[in-house]
Amino acid sequence: MRGCCERNKRYRGKEQLKGDILLFLQEFIIFTIVLALLFDFINGFHDSANAISTVVATKVLSPIRAVGMAAVGNLIGPLFFSTAIAATIGKGIIKIELVQDKEILVFIIFSALVGAVVWDLITWYYGLPTSSSHALVGGLVGAGLVAIGSNSINPVGVEKVVAFMVISPIIGLIAAFILTTLVIRAFYRVAPSRINIYFKRLQLFSAFFYSVTHGTNDAQKTMGIITVLLVAYGSLTTFNVPIWVILAAHISISLGTFLGGWRIVKTMAQKITKLRPYQGFCAETSGGIVLASMAAFGIPVSTTHVISSSIMGVGATDKLSAVRWGIARKIVGAWILTIPATAIISGMTFSVMKAIFRF
């Protein structure tokens, strides 16, 4: 009789422990979803310069109006594009099917978000327009390597991201250079004062177009992360982005954009090159076209890289010396550092989590 009671106590103890672990996991998943939305907010805060730097530099809009316009553009992005980029981030960077324990998957995502948020804040402080997208990719890679090993990394997905990390800025630079050259030739007989009047109006449309594509591209990374968490939680059986996740991600990035990141605006709008309205129009239009094309194919690229290189492209049409290549080199250096830096931070975060929770 006593032995039976002892077994029942041990059984109830194990069941209680399982219940406590499940409750903790549920609460931690909710906390990680909140952290993902915070990352999205910081993404908008950090990358607000992408959407408004050119229109502020050309004095077409005041900073407050420009930020408000960009926030609206970011918010309506899901009306025009699919969630292909979310799927790439959620399933294409690490092989989530190899993660047997849901707890480990949640800790991997949490560590990746910590690495991305820390790097975004560091580069924001120093006014460097780096990529929040690549920060998140680097975080996933670093946490995945520490948690499972090299087998956890999807080489095709990572190679695609790294390849277009290089290709998309080149496309943006060339497209902006060509578009600006065509505009110069088309309006070479028109007085500069009249050209400025035309393109100040046109730049309102180009800046809004870029804001829509910026929000669409960047908010989808957070959608992919949250959807993976919902699959781990059991709320979803397949990877299918819910409508509330789409809305939450876009609202978060819009709020971040509305609050703005003036340190990076200064770098983008003043330090790379001086812009006139027609140049701002060309940079935004070419950058928006590149982002829309990448979103259609589900390729996550850096909105920061694209607009930075587009600004360099329009500046180079005057003369190569019109671009402050010293500033450009610092920006490119930050681009290169982003993935390894966030991988290291996220890997260290996962190691700390493993030591604390002993899983």
> What is the average per-residue pLDDT within 74-97?
81
Query: 170-179, 212-221, 254-263: which range is least confident on average?
Result: 254-263
89-98 pLDDT tens trace: 888 888 877 7
pLDDT attached to residue 15: 56
C-alpha distances in Å from residue 158, one per residue of 84, 136, 154, 267, 339: 16, 12, 6, 29, 11
Q: How confident is the model over 161-174, as pLDDT tens digits?
A: 888 877 888 899 99
Give me the percent of the chain exceeding a pLDDT of 70.
82
Q: Is the pLDDT of residue 265 over 80?
A: no
pLDDT given for residue 122 in this prediction: 87
- Using the predicted structure, report yes or no on whether residue 11 has a pLDDT greater than 50: no
Examine the pLDDT at 290 and tell me if it is beyond 70: yes
- For the stretch 306-327, pLDDT in tens is 887 888 888 888 765 555 555 5
Under a CB-based contact definition with an 8 Å cutoff, are residues 153 and 139 in contact? Answer: no
Does position 9 have pLDDT exceeding 60, yes or no? Answer: no
Q: Measure Cα distances from 231 to 17, 19, 91, 100, 353 in Å.
A: 23, 19, 11, 13, 21
Average pLDDT over residues 289-313: 85
Tally Cβ neighbours within 10 Å of residue 175.
Answer: 21
pTM: 0.81
Q: Which two tokens stand for residue 102?
A: 């849901």
Cα angle vertex 45, ends 76, 140, to 5°? 90
Q: Across-strand partners of 94?
A: 153
Find residue 153's DSSP bridge partners.
94
Averaging pLDDT over each range in 43-47, 65-69, 113-117, which range is the top one?
113-117
| Other Cβ atoms closer than 10 A to 281 | 29
DSSP sequence for 249-270: HHHHHHHHHHH--HHHHHIIII
Residue 132 is classified by DSSP as H
Question: Rounded to whole angstroms, how far apart are CA atoms 120 and 130?
Answer: 8
Output b/e per residue, 58-70; b: 16+ Cβ within 10 A. Answer: bebbeeeebbbbb
Dihedral sign of CA atoms 9, 10, 15, 21 in order: positive
Among the residue ranges 17-31, 95-109, 198-212, the one predicted with the least confidence is 17-31
Across 53-57, 181-185, 247-251, least confident range: 53-57
pLDDT in tens, 316-356: 887 655 555 555 566 666 667 888 999 999 999 999 988 88
pLDDT at 140 over 90: yes
